Amino acid sequence: MRTLDKRVKLSRRSVLGAGGASLMALSVLPTGMIVGPDSAWAVTAEALKPESFATLVQMSRDIYPHDRLADKFYAAAVQSFDAAAAASEDDKTLFENGVIGLDAAAMGAHGVPYAQVGWEIDRVALLRGMEKSGFFQRVRGSLVTGIYNNQEVWPLFGYEGESASKGGYIDRGFNDIDWLDQV
C-alpha cells in the first residue's frame, strides 16, 4: 500500500505571491467579470445576472460541500447554467426565478439574500425547503456532472481517472486504500 501526502503546502513566499497576483488581476479585470469571495474565482456571466450567478455558485457549494475544492470549480459548473440560459429563454427564466425565490426565502427567514446568509446550516435549511422544486432538481442534477466530471478535481479526491486505457485496475493498484484515514 502506498501513502500519499495530500495536504496543501503553503509557504510565506507562495502566499505573498498569490496576494500580489490577485491585486494585479483585480486592477485589470474588465467590467462584467464576477469575482467571488477572497478572489477565488473570476468568470464572465453572459446570460444570467451577476448576482444570480454568484448565488448559484454559493448554492452549488452548499449542495455539494467539499472543503478541498476552490470556488472556481463550482463557478465552472455554474457556467453550464449560464450557457443553458443563453441558449434557451425557458432555462434563463428557470434559473433567474429560482434565484429570486431562494433570495425571497432567505430574506423572509434571515433578512438578507441567500448568498449573504452567514451560516451554512441556515442556507442548507433554505435549500431543504425547496428541494422538490424543478429549479433545485435541475441545479442538483447538473452539478453531479459539472463538478465530478471535471478532471482537475479528480486528484483532489484521490481519483486517478478511468483505468481501461491504462490496462485496468488490477495491475495499477486496485487495492490502494490511501484514501482511508491511517489508523
CA distance 159 to 161: 6
Radius of gyration of the chain measured on its C-alpha atoms: 19
**Residue 19 has which C-alpha cell?**
496576494
Give the C-alpha separation, 99 to 82, whole Å.
13
pLDDT in tens, 18-66: 666 555 554 444 444 444 444 445 677 889 999 999 999 999 999 999 9
Query: Which regions in the chain score pLDDT beneath 50?
Result: 1, 26-40
Give me the pLDDT at residue 182, please. 61
Burial 142-152 (b: 16+ CB within 10 A, else e): bbeebbeeeee
Which one, of 22, 140, 137, lies nearest residue 78 by Cα? 140
Q: What's the pTM? A: 0.71
Buried b (16+ CB within 10 A) or exposed e, 105-132: bbeeebeebbbebeeeeebeebbeeeee
Pairing of strands 33-35, 42-44: antiparallel
d(CA 69, CA 155): 11
